[in-house]
């Protein structure tokens, strides 16, 4: 999938083509991998190969059914150079399968370091060739601008952490200053950039990470950010439901992509998929859990 159109438009086209807003996070975890994929040894290279095989097989199951996958960099980085080689292989496999790739690395810094992160990860000319990535806003606007600029230059996307799904997010994100919470201030910064650089469908290259576990804030932030794509974590294993994420979408059913990681990847280890498929049928469990997620997300349209 080429990067000749703005990311926001490519994401919208992929969601419309697939007919749903689901996304699968690629979070390979050694304690949850099916036993058939666990290596005989314990060296990082052994686990890296298991992670690669696992993610490749997940990609093969979900390709053509969803718009994007979200590799979680941390699980690969934990394994050192071998893990990073596996991550590169997973990204390439997803691209070959026609999936958009949103790297979940939550990077940030200032000045030339931020530029290096952005140029390293975003676009076909980069080393990692990702379509989008997640970034932290904690260092302020001058730490986000390099990511925004590279994303716009290369037709890629940046998802800024605005209101995250974890229970402790309110410690900073809900603090009020000058009549706005911190997350609202970040939201306004992202939306202001998108207003100047919106694509043909009305959305800009800067997205927002807003958790399904805070449905009221999700709805309020959608009103505040009408030209911003939302990446919505927290669905499924973290407790978020289709009703919780309903406020993330615009009037046309676009504007948000909803992520599930553990709930899809390791469905074989929970009911009702454990009873239906068992561990040997883990791929079928992935497929069935994804079907259930898609049905849950689209039932409001029926």
> What is the DSSP annotation of the chain?
----S-HHHHHHHHHHHHTS-EEEEE---TTTS-GGGS-SS-SHHHHHHHHHHHHHHHHHHHTTTSSEEEEBHHHHHTTTHHHHHHHHHHHHHHHHTT-EEEEEEEE--SHHHHHHHHHHHBSTTSSS-BSEEEE--TT-HHHHHHHHHHHHHTT-EEEEEEE-SSGGGHHHHT-EETTEEHHHHHHHHHHHHHHHS--TTS--SEEEEE-TT-HHHHHHHHHH-TT-PEEE--BSTTSB-HHHHGGGS-TTS-SEEEEESHHHHTGGGSTTHHHHHTGGGHHHHHHHHHHHHHHHHHGGG-
Domains of the chain: 7-301 (3.20.20.70)
Mean pLDDT of the region 160-168: 93
Quick check: 1 pLDDT over 70?
Answer: no
Query: What tens digit of pLDDT does each residue of 94-123 get?
Result: 999 999 999 999 999 999 999 999 999 999
Place of tokens 């800067």: 206
Residue 28 CA to residue 44 CA, distance in Å, equals 13
Instruction: Provide the annotated active-site residues.
Output: 106
Quick check: 2 pLDDT over 90?
Answer: no
Q: Is the pTM of this model over 0.75?
A: yes
Quick check: 295 pLDDT over 50?
Answer: yes
- How high is the pLDDT of residue 300? 54
Quick check: 301 pLDDT over 50?
Answer: no
Query: What tens digit of pLDDT does each residue of 172-190 get?
Result: 989 998 899 999 999 999 9
């Amino acid at each position: 999938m080429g990067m000749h159109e703005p990311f926001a438009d490519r994401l919208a086209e992929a969601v419309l083509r697939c007919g749903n807003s689901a996304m699968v996070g690629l979070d390979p975890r050694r304690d949850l991998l099916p036993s058939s994929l666990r290596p005989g040894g314990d060296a990082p290279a052994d686990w890296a190969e298991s992670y690669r095989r696992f993610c490749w097989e997940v990609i093969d199951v979900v390709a053509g059914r969803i718009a994007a996958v979200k590799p979680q960099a941390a699980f690969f980085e934990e394994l050192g150079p071998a893990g990073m080689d596996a991550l590169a292989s997973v990204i390439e496999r997803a691209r070959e399968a026609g999936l958009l790739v949103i790297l979940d690395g939550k990077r940030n810094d200032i000045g030339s370091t931020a530029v290096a992160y952005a140029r390293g990860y975003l676009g076909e000319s980069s080393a990692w060739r990702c379509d989008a990535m997640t970034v932290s806003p904690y260092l302020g606007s001058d730490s986000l601008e390099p990511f925004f600029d590279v994303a716009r230059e290369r037709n890629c996307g940046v998802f800024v952490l605005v209101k995250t799904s974890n229970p402790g997010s309110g410690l900073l994100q809900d603090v009020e200053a000058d009549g706005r919470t911190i997350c609202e201030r970040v939201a306004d910064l992202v939306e202001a950039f998108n207003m100047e650089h919106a694509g043909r469908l009305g959305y800009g290259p800067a997205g927002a990470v807003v958790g399904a576990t805070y449905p009221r804030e999700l709805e309020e932030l959608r009103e505040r950010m009408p030209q911003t794509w939302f990446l919505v974590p927290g669905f499924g294993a973290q407790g978020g439901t289709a009703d919780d994420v309903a406020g993330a979408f615009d009037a046309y059913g676009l504007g948000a992509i909803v992520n599930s990681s553990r709930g899809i990847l390791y469905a074989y280890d929970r009911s009702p998929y454990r009873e239906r498929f068992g561990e040997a049928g883990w791929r079928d469990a992935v497929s069935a859990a994804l079907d259930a997620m898609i049905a849950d997300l689209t039932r409001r349209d029926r």
